[in-house]
Amino acid sequence: MVRGGRVIDPASGLDDTRDVLIQDGRVAQIAPSLPVPAGARVIDAEGLLVTPGLIDPHVHLREPGAAHKETIESGSKAAAAGGFTTVCCMPNTTPALDSPEMLDAIRVRASEHASCRVFPVAAATRGRKGEALSEIELCARAGAVAFSDDGDVIASAGMMSRVLQAIEPTGLAFMQHCQEPTLTRGASMNAGEVSTRLGLIGWPSVAEEIIIERDIRLNSSIGARYHVQHLSSGGSVEIVRRARAGGQPVTAEASPHHLLLTDEACEGFNTLAKMNPPLRTDADIQAIRQGVADGVITILATDHAPHSADEKALPFEDAPFGIIGLETALPLYAEALVASGAIDWPRLIALLTIEPARLCNLDARGLGQLREGGPADLTLIDPDLAWTIGADDLRGMSTNTPFLGRQVRGRAVTTIVAGSVTHTTGSRAPVTA
């Protein structure tokens, strides 16, 4: 029993004080002032937000192939610590998740070791090489919740067209990593004043924007569900805005770092701020926030990308791209979007629950929402808890984040997956009545 919290369920529009009774991993009842059944464990949620379990549709769990960075076990612990009950893992593993067998392997590993629900995104092309289609239909049947060659763009327009055609009948979304490769050769950060100062090859926004433009044009006669991953530029927001206004099936996601940090973070050759797509300018940040406020951007995703300290200690151009995000995302979203006045808490919760659930067709499984009879995945959030992000707060295997030492507000204090507490911090541990 989760008692006395402010229950926010954007799917049903509920936003009021309620008790939530959980039985056998499912939500048994949501109502004001429920009697506590004998023997029930009670979590006092007064002053807390009680929301559907948070969903991150874009994480890298590095398994198989790079278990020194992260595993399904460690990455899902990081997810739980950040309030996430479901993550969708990208297929850029070694080998890639490009076959029903690989998807099955992820399912089995996750069922044995994960602290949250893990759903795989399948590679759209074999080996993510962009040359030949994966077995799209077989992968969909094997549990893929979307398709993507994330980490790489599908560079060939011809291949991209075939990918969209093949995916459209599955009803799943294709998620594009938008990076025109000939415009980004050798580039390691945003093209601008800072890259000019540091002598680093610049990565222009247009490299992202022309892929989005191209794909939308290709898709206009196909009609597949097309999703723009981690958009980084104000120009991209405008392209997506126009396409959505024209009724195209386009969605887009924003990541915490693109909502808060500029390329100035790369000063001093700080590899913790080396990111693909790169951190850009304040104007881009404002445009992306506005895109969230206007409903152009409906998805938030961390792009949780763990790398070892040794890898990030390399010279800037040699170091890998990526920032971890699962443990730190919630307060960063709150800072960038709620504290800034762009949106309110209920909308933020929608962006973290029902919206990603719909993107990955997980709403059909009852995820991303709170309803009687549905899965008891809940996140309890203290929106006012002030804390400083420290390495000790990170439950994953890697600590590559430029947000270490940042003072933030808001934290998931308890995470519940199918009725089991997967994370709790502070004094909100359950007591038995």
Among residues 190 and 379, whose Cβ is nearest to other proteins?
190
Minimum CB distance to other proteins, residue 305 (Å): 21
Exactly one of 226, 316, 333, 345 binds other proteins (CB under 8 A); that residue is 316
Is the backbone of residue 104 left (phi > 0), alpha (psi -120 to 50) or beta? alpha
The residue among 6 and 307 lying less far from other proteins, judged by its C-beta, is 307
The one segment of 59-67, 73-81, 188-196, 223-231 that binds other proteins by CB under 8 A: 188-196
Sign of CA dihedral 182, 258, 272, 83: negative
72 half-sphere exposure, CB direction, 13 A CA radius = 24
Kindly state the smallest distance separating residue 235's Cβ from other proteins, in Å.
17
CB of 90 to other proteins, least distance (A): 27
Return the range that interacts with other proteins (CB under 8 A); candidates 215-223, 237-245, 312-320, 390-398: 312-320
Q: Which stretch binds other proteins (CB under 8 A): 161-169, 199-207, 336-344, 420-428?
A: 199-207
Minimum distance of other proteins from residue 275's CB (angstroms): 16
Q: Residue 201 or residue 421: which is nearer to other proteins going by CB?
A: 201
CA dist 427 and 422 (Å) reads 15
The interface mask with other proteins, positions 249-268, x = CB under 8 A, is -------------------x
Residue 339: CB minimum distance to other proteins, A:
31
Q: Which of 67, 133, 201, 222 binds other proteins (CB under 8 A)?
A: 201
In whole angstroms, give the CA distance from residue 96 to residue 305.
16
Neighbours of 310 (CB within 10 A): 9
Facing residues of 398 across strands? none
Query: Which of 7, 198, 324, 413 lies at the binding interface for other proteins (CB under 8 A)?
Result: 198
- Half-sphere exposure for 146 (CA within 13 Å, toward CB): 31
Is 294 an interacting residue with respect to other proteins (CB under 8 A)? no
Active site residue 303: yes
Number of residues that bind other proteins (CB under 8 A): 19
Q: Measured from the CB of residue 201, what is the shortest distance to other proteins in angstroms?
A: 8
Q: Is 192 in the site for other proteins (CB under 8 A)?
A: yes
* Residue span binding other proteins (CB under 8 A) among the ranges 45-53, 100-108, 190-198, 322-330: 190-198
Residue 269 or 387: the one with the smaller Cβ distance to other proteins is 269
From CA 393, how far away is CA 390, in angstroms rounded?
A: 5
The smaller minimum CB distance to other proteins, of residues 24 and 310, is found at: 310
The label of the residue with tokens 């994370």 reads: 423
DSSP category for residue 86? E
Phi, psi of 374 (to 5 degrees): -85, 170
Specify the stretch interacting with other proteins by CB under 8 A; choose among 33-41, 124-132, 298-306, 309-317.
309-317
What 3-state DSSP class applies to 7? strand
Determine how many CB atoms are found less than 10 A away from the CB of residue 186.
9
CB of 303 to other proteins, least distance (A): 24
**Residue 193 C-beta: closest distance to other proteins, Å:** 4
SS (H, E, C) 93-152: CCCCCCCHHHHHHHHHHHHHHCCCEEEECECCEHHHCCCCECCHHHHHHCCCCEEECCCC
Beta-strand relationship, 407-417 and 420-424: antiparallel
User: For other proteins, which residue of 313, 339, 429, 433 counts as binding (CB under 8 A)?
Assistant: 313
Which are the contacts of 179, defined by CB distance < 8 A and separation ≥ 6?
152, 153, 207, 208, 211, 276, 277
Other beta carbons within 10 angstroms of residue 88's beta carbon come to 25
Examine residue 315 and tell whether it contacts other proteins (CB under 8 A): yes
Interface characters, 401-420, with other proteins (x: CB under 8 A): --------------------
Per the residue annotation, which of 9, 303, 363, 377 is the catalytic one?
A: 303
The only residue of 7, 167, 200, 330 in contact with other proteins, by rule CB under 8 A: 200
Answer left, alpha or beta for residue 143, where phi above 0 means left and psi between -120 and 50 means alpha. Answer: left
Does the footprint of other proteins cover residue 317 (CB under 8 A)?
yes
Distance CA 123, CA 126 (A): 7
Is residue 203 a contact residue for other proteins (CB under 8 A)? no
Picking from 234, 222, 296, the residue whose alpha carbon sits closest to that of residue 259 is 234
Which residues contact other proteins (rule: CB under 8 A)?
191-193, 196-202, 268-269, 310, 313-318
Catalytic residue numbers, as ranges: 303
